[in-house]
């Protein structure tokens, strides 16, 4: 399906948020995700299903501070 991820349209095969993070090769414990402008708890990643044209902001954190 077609999603908008960080402002870019992208075709993905993932159906859940957890699958999407795996498809993007991101470590789920290092990301924060907004789905259609609402933050998603990491405990909900596996059960959050994605729909055509969903808008996601996926922020991947790297260590250091």
Partner 1 sequence: MQLYVNENLVEVGSDSSLADLRALYKPTADLLIVNGYPVADSHQLAAGDRVVLISRGEVPTETELEALLVARHTPGVHSRVKQARVGIAGVGGLGSAIAVALTRLGVGELIVADFDVVEPSNLNRQQYFVDQLGMPKVAALAENLRRINPYVSVVSHVVRLTRENIPALFAEVDVMVEAFDAAAQKALLVESFLSNVPGRPLVAASGMAGFGPANTIQTRRAGNNLYLVGDEVSAAAPGSGLMAPRVGIAAHHQANCVLRLLLGEDPLGE
> Are the beta carbons of 53 and 3 closer than 8 angstroms?
yes
Pick from 1, 2, 34, 49 the residue near partner 1 by CB under 8 A: 34
Reduce the DSSP state of residue 22 to 3 states and report it.
helix
Site for partner 1 contains 48 (CB under 8 A): no
**Min CB(22)–partner 1 separation in Å:** 16
Quote the CA–CA distance of 36 and 7 in Å, as a whole number: 12
**Min CB(52)–partner 1 separation in Å:** 21
| DSSP-H helix ranges across 1-65 | 17-23
User: Where does this chain bind partner 1 (CB under 8 A)?
Assistant: 27, 29-32, 34, 37-42, 57, 59-65
């Amino acid at each position: 399906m077609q999603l908008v991820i960080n402002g870019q349209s992208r075709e993905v095969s993932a159906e859940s948020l957890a699958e999407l993070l795996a498809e993007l090769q991101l470590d789920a414990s290092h990301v924060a995700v907004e789905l259609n402008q609402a933050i998603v708890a990491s405990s909900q990643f596996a059960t959050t299903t994605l729909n055509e044209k969903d808008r996601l902001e996926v922020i991947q954190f790297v260590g250091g501070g």
